[in-house]
Amino acid sequence: MEQVAYRTYWLAWLTLLVITLGMVFVQLQAVLVLGMIAKATIIGAWFMHLRYERLEFTIIIMASIFVTALILFGLIVPDGLAM
Amino acid sequence: MHAARWQGGVSPWGMSWQKLMMWLFIVSDALLFAGFLAAYGFQRLAAETWPDRNRVFHMEFITAMTFILISSSATMATAVGAAKRGDAKTMARFLALTILGGLCFLGMQAFEWTTLIRQGARLTTNPWGVPAFSAFFFMITGFHGTHVLIGVIILLVTAWKRASGDGVELAGLYWHFVDLVWVFIFGCFYLI
């Protein structure tokens, strides 16, 4: 695995903090959803090193979680409105 | 990267089997929390009313918990980086900071739970009107808190065994995953 500069992690940390504060203060649904996705991406890509793994592996991990999220939150959760 | 490769001279995606198994575990654990949050979202959309979160939660306190968990993830990433460089001193220092962050988070969650339980919140009932609210709250934050507790134990064992780069990396993957789950719990439960 290639070495990542310490500074990269702390830049990621700073970005996560800014997004979190933005989410707490703005509190618009669209901002919250985009903020959660942005934070998850930063944690996955830099902290969990997905950015530095082989592309096929990253795609398999991302795709499996994306498909599940799509089925659960795109197809099943909205049905709650019809109850 | 790791001496033990799968037989045949090829290791899938050029990673150790330990790391591959950790990722498989993380994906399956992500499905668990995705299921919880989806059930919560469904129930909340189906319910006629939902308790006003500003009356139940103290957002400054929850934001501080989030800050601590994010910071502990950054110190963990630094510890993994130090382990990869063979810098045992920096690794031990940042591993200790990460454990401290995890313990702070657990303490604050225990305080939050105690506050809510003293106000009468239980798994099946609560003073804010919708019984499902506290059921989902205790179940989801309880499962997450248990993951943090297990993470602290893993980190303590990792530090105790003076693990090498790969061991610390595995513990780090798990710790970042716990932080990742909190991103969605924080967003879905405390902010929306």
pLDDT in tens, B56-112: 999 999 999 999 999 999 999 999 999 999 999 999 999 999 999 999 999 999 999
Which among B46, B78, B184 has the least Cβ separation from residue A80? B46
Q: Taking CB atoms and an 8 Å limit, are B35 and A81 in contact across chains?
A: no
CA distance B102 to B154: 11
Residue B180 to residue B178: CA distance in whole angstroms: 5
Between helix B165-185 and helix B88-118 the angle, nearest 10°, is 30
B58: nearest CA in chain A? A24
| CA–CA min distance A51, chain B (Å) | 13
Confidence of residue B8 (pLDDT cuts 50, 70, 90): very low
Interface of B with A in 76-135 (CB under 8 A): 76-78, 81, 84-85
- How many angstroms separate the CA atoms of B50 and A9, rounded? 38
In which residue are the tokens 């901002």 written? A31
DSSP 8-state symbol, B52: -
- Asked if A76 and B38 come within 8 Å (Cβ–Cβ), the reply is yes
Q: Which residues contact B175 (CB under 8 A, 6 or more apart)?
A: B72, B73, B76, B98, B102, B151, B154, B155
**Residue A32 and residue B187: Cβ atoms within 8 Å?**
yes
Interface test with A, best of B37, B50, B168, B191 (most A CBs within 10 A): B191
Q: If pLDDT is split at 50, 70 and 90, which confidence band does B164 have?
A: confident
- Mean of pLDDT values over A58-78: 94
Contact yes or no for B73 and A20 at CB 8 A: no
Per-state percent for chain B, helix, strand, coil, to nearest 5: 80, 0, 20
Q: Which residues of B119-137 are buried (b: 16+ CB within 10 A; e: fewer)?
A: eebeeeebebebebbbbbb
Complex ipTM, two decimals? 0.94
Closest approach of A45 to chain B, Cα-based (Å): 11
pLDDT of residue B9: 56
Residue among A44, A40, A76, A2 at smallest CA distance from B85: A2
- Rounded to whole angstroms, the Cα distance separating B146 from A18 reads 27
Sequence-distant (≥ 6) Cβ neighbours of residue B151 within 8 angstroms: B102, B171, B174, B175, B178
Query: Would you list which residues of chain A are within 8 Å, Cβ to Cβ, of chain B?
Result: 1, 3-4, 6, 9-10, 12-13, 16-17, 20-21, 23-24, 27, 29, 32-33, 35-36, 39-40, 43-44, 46-48, 53-54, 56-57, 61, 64-65, 68-69, 72-73, 76-81, 83
Q: Is B18 exposed, middle or buried (0-12, 13-18, 19+ CB in 10 A)?
A: middle
Residue showing tokens 């979680």: A65
Nearest alpha carbon to residue A39 among B179, B37, B40: B179
Only one residue has tokens 């604050």, namely B108
In whole angstroms, give the CA distance from residue A61 to residue B151: 21
- For residue B131, the Cα-to-chain-centroid distance in whole angstroms is 25
Amino acid residing at B1 = M
CA–CA separation, B181 and B188 (whole Å): 11
Please give the single-letter amino acid code of residue B77.
A
Q: Is the pTM of this model over 0.80?
A: yes
**Is the distance from CB of B8 to CB of B155 less than 8 angstroms?**
no
Locate tokens 């930063």: which residue? A42
H or E stretch covering B166: helix B165-185
Contacts of B49 in chain A (CB under 8 A): none
Contact B38 A9 (CB under 8 A): no
User: pLDDT category, B7, cuts 50, 70, 90?
Assistant: very low
Residue of A nearest to B72 (CA): A13
Q: What average pLDDT does this structure show over B12-36?
A: 92
Total residues belonging to chain B: 192
